[in-house]
Amino acid sequence: MINRIVKMEFDPEKVNTFRALFTQQQLLIRHFPGCLHLELWEHPASGNTWFTFSQWESEAALENYRASDLFRETWAATKVLFNGKPAAWTVQTAVSL
């Protein structure tokens, strides 16, 4: 299993558009083959910085999602809302208590 964290900074005036888009797409993403978990995190102090946290069966499952029409359509609609460059990390749990 792998974990994926994506940091996104939005134009403050486009945050509500992003929230609506995520609400529309979240179940499709969560039920994509290989997706085990999906969360949306907000950095409340900034008001325009958001993170997605997802868990995937494997790197291959994540890559299948990234090659899908669902990802391409969702990412195309999301990236036009940014006011900064997104950052993404694929990480594995080192310690869990």
- The whole-number pLDDT of residue 24 equals 98
pTM recorded for the entire structure: 0.93
Structural domains of the chain sorted by starting position, each given as residue range(s) with its CATH number in brackets? 2-91 (3.30.70.100)
Instruction: Render pLDDT for 11-55 as a digit per residue (tens, 0 to 9).
Output: 999 999 999 999 999 999 999 999 999 999 999 999 999 999 999
Mean pLDDT, to the nearest integer, of 60-84?
97
31-53 burial, b for 16+ CB within 10 Å, e for fewer?
A: ebebbeebeeeeeeeeebbbbbe
Main-chain phi, psi angles of 89, to 5 degrees: -135, 140
- The whole-number pLDDT of residue 89 equals 98
